[in-house]
Structure 1
Amino acid sequence: MNNVRTVSDTKRTFYSLHTRPINTIYRRVVEELMVEMHLLSVNVDFTYNSIYALGVVTSFDLFMQGYQPERDKESIFNALCQAVEQEAQRYRQEAERLQNLAKTLSANDLTAWLSQSTNLDRDPDLQAQLQAIANNPNFKYSRLFAIGLFSLLELSNPELVKDEKQRTEALKTIATGLKLSEEKLNKDLELYLSNLDKMAQALVVMADMLAAERKKREQRKQQSTTSVAPPTANE
């Protein structure tokens, strides 16, 4: 009998590896990413690829911005990958490789390559993965894969992804070439961008609350110091 790991198994592994508490505002981010990675890892149609790895790394790094203590972020990411029986170093290395590659390509060249209308012969591994995706009718698409695609476009041309018309056209070309659902791709990325905005707003609110709390503590400290000041000695 083949025992498939459960979400509970994955969570238990994660919290046995990263034993420090996770700040409340980020806990949901970590657990949602963990569940998403888990469900993909146990899906028979899922195949790891470097664009998915880039999506995981990008999602983690952006949503964990501002996390304190900063040193805990590496431990959390390592535990996240190990909990789904993957290597964090592999994710980081492949994400960095694609990030560097995207920065050297124009948006047009990158779009043509990702859509498989052109082979740039720049990264044999990525080329093979793209071909496999386009030729696999059972390819397991995911939101994290979509984020990886978006990240590549953003690194190649940040202005393109800010322009809704250009972004939509590029994603349509890529979706057609890789035989992905354009509707799913756009919906997932709209939600992703919306969540990034909400997270940024939440961090601003949290920073304001912390600043206000610090100010109150300082005021209480000053009042306390004033109230316990020793009386002037009488001759």
Structure 2
Amino acid sequence: MAALTSLSFSSSFTQCCERKATVSSSTHRFFVSSSSEVFGFRTIFSYHYGGVRASSSSSKMVVQCMSSATDAPTVSETKLNFLKAYKRPIPSIYNTVLQELIVQQHLMRYKRSYRYDPVFALGFVTVYDQLMEGYPSDEDRDAIFKAYINALNEDPEQYRKDAQKLEEWARAQNLTSLVEFSSKDGEIEGILKDIAERAGKGDFSYSRFFAVGLFRLLELTNATEPTILEKLCAALNINKKSVDRDLDVYRNLLSKLVQAKELLKEYVDREKKKREERAEPQKANETITKCQGQQLSGQQLWSYENDIY
């Protein structure tokens, strides 16, 4: 950051905006892309009856978002529910990513094959907490989380509760017990067995939040050996290549978020200092004017007393 200190205010702000655009683009690729490909062209979305139509100047495609409910809301309705639930302004560096996030999670949420699971919840909570780290108000950060999950017609308390359970379980595991969950009994072991069974039958909807959830489990278990992720994916019947790719994109996104937040903080600090510097001469002038006024009043009083005598 030493090299950045010589930048002007406008330059810092411009770079910050450019970084935010990069973050938004990375987030878009992270959550829009399927597990097997990344959209390489500029995509314009229009939503109709719970589906999403993507088009570009060079190609057209239609992605049907199948819902398990016949009355699935549209993306616009989900976003509107979020805005109604949380009406306070959100700084753009956070809001840009949140808006991308809620659109893509809506598409996941209302797929016919979608089924909530705690690993998915852990992944989302991890992404959200990383994104909102450093938010000005902890109270607002929690309120935004609740508004976001409620807008998707899910339970924010369940997300937090399940994520906490998985984190506590992972901290108590070692490298062997983590990958050998199928031979053990317990609430979390049962959840992982169910995922493995559904994935083995092709009845599991993989997502990048799930990949982040797996990464968090490994992190809390202090699993540093590269083979552990491979063994865990095999035990869960999950494609490791998809997980590896998604985790690489996730790490890259976090790196860009950190850079953007640093630039934004630097810009805000510079603007604050600039305002203080502008205010100092004004305060000095006000003090001088006040003193001159007091001196003039004293002279007038002295003149009045002399006239009397």
Residue number in structure 1 paired with 2:246: 188
Identity, % of aligned positions: 31
Q: Distance in 2 between matches of 1:131 and 1:176?
A: 9
Q: Deviations over 1:100-139 (max 9, x none)?
A: 11111113321333xxxx4232435424433433433131
Asked if residue 176 in structure 1 is aligned to residue 234 in structure 2, the reply is yes
The structure-2 alpha-carbon separation of the partners of 1:213 and 1:107, relative to structure 1 and needing over 3 Å to count, comes to: farther
Letter in 1 for 2:146: N
Aligned to 2:259: 201
TM-score by length of 2: 0.67
1:12 to 77, 80, 85: 80
- TM-score for both structures, normalised by structure 1: 0.87
**Offset at residue 215 of structure 1 (A):** 1.1
* 2:152 paired residue number: 84
Q: Matches of 2:132 and 2:139 in 1, distance apart? A: 12
Quote the Cα distance in structure 1 between the aligned partners of 2:155 and 2:242.
Answer: 28
Pairs aligned (count): 224
Unaligned runs of 5+ in 2: 1-68, 300-309
Instruction: Identify the residue that residue 71 of structure 1 maps to in structure 2.
Output: 139
Structure 1: where are the runs of 5+ without partners? 161-165
2:161 is the alignment partner of 1:96:
no
Q: Cα offset for 1:183?
A: 1.8
The alpha-carbon deviation at position 71 of structure 1 amounts to 1.4
- State the AA in 2 paired with 1:141: Y
1:223 CA displacement: 1.5
**8 Å Cα contact 2:193-2:236 kept in structure 1:** no
Which amino acid is 2:123 matched to? G
SS in 2 for 1:149: helix
> CA-to-partner distance for each residue in 1:174-221, whole Å, 9 max, x for gaps?
222322222211111001011111111111111111111111111111
Distance 2:91 2:175 in 1: 38
Which of the numbers 130, 142, 145 marks the counterpart of 2:210?
145
- Residues 1:121 and 2:185 are matched in the alignment: yes
Q: What is the aligned counterpart of 2:268 among 187, 206, 210?
A: 210
Amino acid at match of 1:17: A
Task: Tell me how far apart the structure 1 counterparts of residues 276 and 169 of structure 2 sit (CA, whole Å).
Answer: 50
Aligned partners of 2:218 and 2:229 also within 8 Å: no
CA distance in 2, matches of 1:36, 1:224: 50
Q: 2:285 aligns with which of 189, 209, 227?
A: 227
How far, CA to CA, are the matches of 1:136 and 1:206 in structure 2?
47
1:52 equivalent to 2:120? Answer yes
In the alignment, does 2:201 pair up with 1:136? yes
Distance 2:70 2:192 in 1: 33
Contact preservation (8 Å) 2:198, 2:204: yes
Q: CA deviation at 1:29?
A: 2.1
Matches of 1:70 and 1:6, distance apart in 2: 30
Separation in structure 2 between the aligned mates of residue 185 and residue 153 of structure 1, nearest angstrom: 13
Are the counterparts in 2 of residues 146 and 185 from structure 1 also a CA contact under 8 Å?
yes
Q: Distance in 2 between matches of 1:148 and 1:56?
A: 7
SS of the residue aligned with 2:183?
Answer: coil
3-state secondary structure, aligned to 1:121? coil
Rg: which structure is higher?
2
Query: Which SS does the other structure have where 1:71 is aligned?
Result: helix
CA RMSD for the aligned pairs? Answer: 2.0
**For 2:194 and 2:105, how far apart are their aligned partners in 1?**
19
**Match among 105, 108, 115 for residue 37 of structure 1:** 105
What is the identity, as a one-letter code, of the residue corresponding to 1:29? V
8 Å contact from structure 2 (residues 233, 240) kept in 1: yes
Give the CA deviation at 1:13: 1.0
The answer to whether the 8 A contact 1:49-1:129 is kept is: no
The one-letter amino acid of 1:142's match is S
Identify, as 1 or 2, the structure richer in strand: 2
CA contact (8 A) 1:119 1:127 kept: no
Q: Is the 8 A contact 1:55 1:151 kept in 2?
A: yes
Distance across 1 between alignment mates of 2:86 and 2:194: 32
